[in-house]
Amino acid sequence: MPGDAVRRYVDLQPGDPAPWFEQRGWENPRYVFDTAAGRWLVLCFFASASDPVGREALAAALDRRDLFDDTHASFFGVTLDPGDEKRGRIRDSMPGVRFILDFDGSVSRAYGAIPDDSRPGGGRVPVQRFWFVIDPTLRIVAKIPFGPDGAGHREAIEMIERLPAPGRHAGIELQAPILMLPDVFEPSLCEALIETYTRVGGTPSGFMRQVDGRTVLVHDPGHKRRRDCHVEAPELLSRIQARIRRRVVPEIRKAHQFAVTRMERYIVACYDAQDAWHFNAHRDNTTRGTAHRRFAVSINLNAGFEGGEIGFPEYGTRTFKPAPGTALVFSCSLLHAVTPVTRGRRLAFLPFLYDDAAAQVREANNAFLADGLEPYRPDETQPASPAAREGGAPALSPEAG
């Protein structure tokens, strides 16, 4: 095609971060790619299953169906052809095999499969077909062109066969970049917060999702099952703030050179063995209404439960179960999950921390909150009212910064 030589393609190489995306899947109308971190990911940009080249690539992957189990590795076939869906030429096969319906070309442009100015559906589009192998932290390991006579397919499959366990993808076992701070809450404070939950009880806890440009509160027991109680007693609030200010804020400043000045949410959360309460892999700052969050803090208030451990899939399979009163602190952008509680119940205090600059971001994003979510008020100094309980944000005292 005349002019193709001057068209620009994104040129991703090993070591580059893999672009995150949200796109239609075969079964999932909104597949969020970054939540698949924690295993090897294989993206095959085959363009269309209507021609021999695309069919050959898919056959190479499906002939080694045993390699893709959603634990060690997952396969994603990326199609540009609406006919693949209409004519049933592709279909998800769980676990491990998914198809991305990239009919607008957004994923293919981000990975360089089509030129950055191409729009599928407006005529012929020049296509580069290749495989990407991506590590559990979403960094590119290999980019393998299809090549003649299926050579690229064989190279990709042979590489996937040699991949180590996801937790040792860097050659050693990795440690998630977290802070573990003992003795943040003393036993009497833990007991007072447990008593608050026992007396008041909890209400079902949802999570935030971006829908049509707005942040909405969603309840999905398959993704998250937890009950929360909001702390409102002034004496408890003062004790909580003092402990966070004196025992957590300085450690964040030392480790991350970040000056915390604000705290969002004063809640006691409960994960119960009843129905195996849990929270699947997620990040805490992926919507306009949560983009201000910088650090998450998890402080267990009790012991004696099983399960309910926190894991960071991008950094291996290790999970963490801090002792009562110990704060586990981590960036809100890290993928994390809470394993199902299998015995007893886990009670924890779960705030978010941020600074004044992030507070300005939060205020600006009030316009993107769905109806029913209380807008942020930067002069707020008391816990949120019941109407605002999903997003209330008392400020820490100025000296916290």
Strand 214-218 to 327-331 pairing: unpaired
- Residue 388: predicted pLDDT: 35
Q: What is the pLDDT of residue 293?
A: 98
Left, alpha or beta for 257 (phi > 0: left; psi -120 to 50: alpha)? left
Q: State yes or no: pLDDT of 194 exceeds 80.
A: yes
Question: pLDDT by residue (tens digit) across 252-272?
Answer: 999 999 999 999 999 999 999
Instruction: Please report the pLDDT score of residue 178 as a whole number.
Output: 98
Give pLDDT tens digits for 203-225. 999 999 999 999 999 999 999 99
pLDDT value of position 123: 67
Q: Are 9 and 112 in contact (CB under 8 A)?
A: yes
d(CA 240, CA 252): 17
Contact 341, 272 (CB under 8 A): yes
Kindly tell me if the per-residue pLDDT of 348 is higher than 70: yes
Residue 399 pLDDT grade (very low, low, confident, very high; cuts 50, 70, 90): very low
Task: Between 247 and 400, name the one with better pLDDT.
Answer: 247
What confidence tens digit (pLDDT) does each residue in 31-84 have? 999 999 999 999 999 999 999 999 999 999 999 999 999 999 999 999 999 999
The pLDDT, as a whole number, for residue 397 is 44
Q: Which CATH superfamily is domain 4-168 in?
A: Glutaredoxin (3.40.30.10)
Q: How high is the pLDDT of residue 296?
A: 98
Distances from the Cα of 69 to the Cαs of 167, 187, 224, in angstroms?
A: 15, 43, 23
Which class would CATH give 179-400?
Answer: mainly beta
pLDDT (tens digit per residue) in 110-168: 999 999 988 887 668 899 999 999 999 999 999 999 988 889 999 999 999 999 999 99
Q: 36 and 62 in contact (C-beta within 8 Å)?
A: no
| Rounded average pLDDT over 373-392 | 54
- The reported pLDDT for the residue numbered 389 is 37
Q: What is the pLDDT of residue 148?
A: 86
pLDDT at residue 1 greater than cutoff 60: no
Domain boundaries, the chain: 4-168, 179-400
Share of the chain above pLDDT 90, in %: 86
Question: Averaged over 356-374, what is the pLDDT?
Answer: 95
Range scoring the smallest mean pLDDT among 74-88, 266-280, 387-401:
387-401
Which H or E run includes 155?
Answer: helix 151-162
Q: Where do runs of H (alpha helix) occur along 273-325?
A: none
Mean pLDDT, the chain, integer: 92
User: 283 φ, ψ to 5°?
Assistant: -120, 155
Q: Is 348 helix (H, G, I), strand (E, B) or coil?
A: strand
**Lowest mean pLDDT segment, chosen from 3-12, 64-73, 281-290:** 3-12
pTM value is 0.88
246: left (phi over 0), alpha (psi -120 to 50) or beta: alpha
Per-residue pLDDT tens digits for 159-168: 999 999 999 9
Burial of 164 (0-12, 13-18, 19+ CB in 10 A): exposed
Residue corresponding to tokens 């040792």: 168
CB 397 within 8 A of CB 245: yes
Amino acid 395: pLDDT? 54
Instruction: Give the pLDDT of residue 384.
Output: 35
What are the tens digits of pLDDT across the range 174-193?
899 999 999 999 999 999 99
Looking at residue 383, what is its pLDDT?
Answer: 36
Say how far apart CA 75 and CA 58 lie, in whole Å. 10
